[in-house]
Structures are given as C-alpha cells and as structure tokens.
Chain A
C-alpha cells in the first residue's frame, strides 16, 4: 500500500528557512517523479515543484512563486524526498504535501503545516 508521511513543518519567522521531509513506501519511489503541492487554509491546491527520477537526471521544475527560494531533493536509498525552503514569506504559510502526481498509484499523505509569522 502506498504511504506518504510529510514532516518538518512548524512556525518560522519571515526570512527564515525550513526543510521538509517526505518518507514514502509501497511503490517504486526511485523511478517516480515526486512533487510538492501546498494548500493555504481555505484556499485551493498550488503546485510547488517536482524532481524527476535518476533516469531523468533528477531534473527539477518549480512554480514561479517559489523559484529561487525553494529546492527539491531526494534520497532514493531512503525513499525520501525533501523540500528546502529559504527566504520564507508570510504567503508561504500552508499545508505542504508530497505526492507521485499523475501515476495510477498516486496517494497523498496528511501533509505538514508551515506557518510563517513574526
């Protein structure tokens, strides 16, 4: 069974940094493109970025709203994806999810809450 567990969220001041982790199991993690998606309270879903597999050179892409501030990485030996968030803004406050978007086995974890506030 596909299982995803996001962690690392919390309260951070504007301008600060935070690193999120996503532990995956139940599917071929190393061969899957992993995405991060966020959802601010009461709002819709917003795609944050993705990292492709080793076979696709670990290529990354990011939404314009986070490009240059956020970095996605992965450790296939640990079946874990990461989201490094720097220069955080109040508008980055949201629940962050990781997911193998678009695959038939796609599932979502419960997400991790990031609050950017002074």
Chain B
C-alpha cells in the first residue's frame, strides 16, 4: 500500500479550476512532486518541491501544501490536461521515495 493517498478520479468542466490532493504523514516533512501521465506516454514532472514549475510547464499548474496534504491545482483546465496525475515524495524515513496511487482527471 502507498504511504501517499490520492482520490482515484476527479472531473472538471472545461475552463474551470480543479484541485487534486495527496495525503501522507511524510508530507509534513518532505515536499511533494507532481506528475502528469497521458495514455501510452512516460510521466512528466509538472510541479517539483511543492510549488515550483519546471521550464515549459504552463502556469495554470500550481502546487501547494498544508500539513500532511499536498495539492495540485489546475486553473482553467484544458482538454489536453486530461490524464493521470501522481504525487511523489520521500517516505517517513526519508530514505526511500513513494508515489501516490494516482488520480484520473477527466475534463468534461
């Protein structure tokens, strides 16, 4: 079982805002990273170290954290944002990494 918990599925209307959450005890100590994975493709880093966007990632993607919950927010969701989203972080020991179970985002 994953030490990071995500809702299995979330939906959002085109152009609206959606928040995807990730819960885990280790998030009180370590930052979360967020990944987008479209079908048949490798994961793509969209947020690292809680709230930083890599070069080339649209600014509609943002990250935040409070207590044991990290969040990925997409402001003005686009059709191409429909994908699986995963969070990752170190585990409670700090020596290993873990991934959340993933959230399937549907853009309506």
CB nearest neighbor in A for B40: A110
A40-61: which residues lie under 8 A (CB-CB) from chain B?
A: 44-47, 50, 61
Residue A104 CB within 8 A of the other chain:
yes
- In whole angstroms, how far apart are the Cα atoms of A35 and B46 in the complex? 18
Which residues of the other chain, B, contact A62 by a CB distance below 8 angstroms?
96
CB nearest neighbor in B for A111: B42
Residue B67 CB within 8 A of the other chain:
no
- In whole angstroms, how far apart are the Cα atoms of A7 and B98 in the complex? 24
CB <8 Å contact, A47 and B97: yes
Which residues of the other chain, A, contact B102 by a CB distance below 8 angstroms?
44-45
CB <8 Å contact, B48 and A47: no
CB <8 Å contact, B88 and A101: yes
CB nearest neighbor in A for B45: A106
CB nearest neighbor in A for B54: A104
Size band of the interface chain A makes with B: 20 to 34
Which residues of the other chain, A, contact B100 by a CB distance below 8 angstroms?
44
CB <8 Å contact, B33 and A102: yes
- In whole angstroms, how far apart are the Cα atoms of A97 and B37 in the complex? 13
CB <8 Å contact, B98 and A47: yes
Interface class of chain B by DSSP: strand
- In whole angstroms, how far apart are the Cα atoms of A105 and B57 in the complex? 12
Residue A78 CB within 8 A of the other chain:
no
CB <8 Å contact, B97 and A107: no
B91 → chain A closest CB, angstroms: 9
Residue of A44, A50, A97, A105 touching B101 (CB-CB under 8 A): A44
Residue A14 CB within 8 A of the other chain:
no
CB <8 Å contact, B52 and A45: no
Residues on A lying within 8 angstroms of B by beta carbon are: 35, 37, 44-47, 50, 61-63, 97, 101-111
The 3 A-B residue pairs whose C-beta atoms are closest, nearest first, are A108-B42, A45-B99, A47-B97
Residues on B lying within 8 angstroms of A by beta carbon are: 2, 33, 35, 37, 42-45, 48-49, 52, 54, 84, 86, 88, 95-102
A-B pairs with beta carbons under 8 Å apart, 23 shown: A37-B99, A44-B84, A44-B100, A44-B102, A45-B43, A45-B99, A46-B99, A47-B98, A50-B97, A61-B95, A62-B96, A97-B43, A101-B88, A102-B88, A102-B97, A103-B48, A104-B48, A104-B54, A105-B54, A106-B48, A108-B42, A108-B44, A108-B45
